[in-house]
């Protein structure tokens, strides 16, 4: 049952706070429904929150991910 998997994700989210190097094109193409695969974290994630994006800064952007698979 797919609903039990969704219920489990919503009730017991596995969150990761990461720093990603995002650029303007990444931000322009971003949609909340986009799934992101990150091999280093071993899974597929929804982006829950993006904080502090600055296209002129030479540092990463804080991103909160929620693991889906």
Tell me the pTM: 0.80
The structure tokens listed for 56 are: 């002129």
13 pLDDT tier (thresholds 50, 70, 90): confident
Give me the residue label for tokens 């706070």.
17
Give me the residue label for tokens 């596995």.
14
How much is the pLDDT for 68?
A: 87
Nearest residue to 24 via CA among 56, 46, 49: 56
């Amino acid at each position: 049952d797919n609903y039990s998997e969704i219920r489990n994700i919503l009730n017991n989210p596995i969150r990761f706070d990461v720093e990603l190097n995002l650029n303007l094109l990444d931000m322009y193409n971003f949609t909340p429904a986009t799934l992101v695969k990150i091999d280093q974290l071993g899974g597929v994630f929804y982006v829950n929150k993006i904080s502090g994006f600055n296209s002129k800064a030479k540092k990463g952007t804080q991103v909160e991910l929620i693991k889906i698979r």
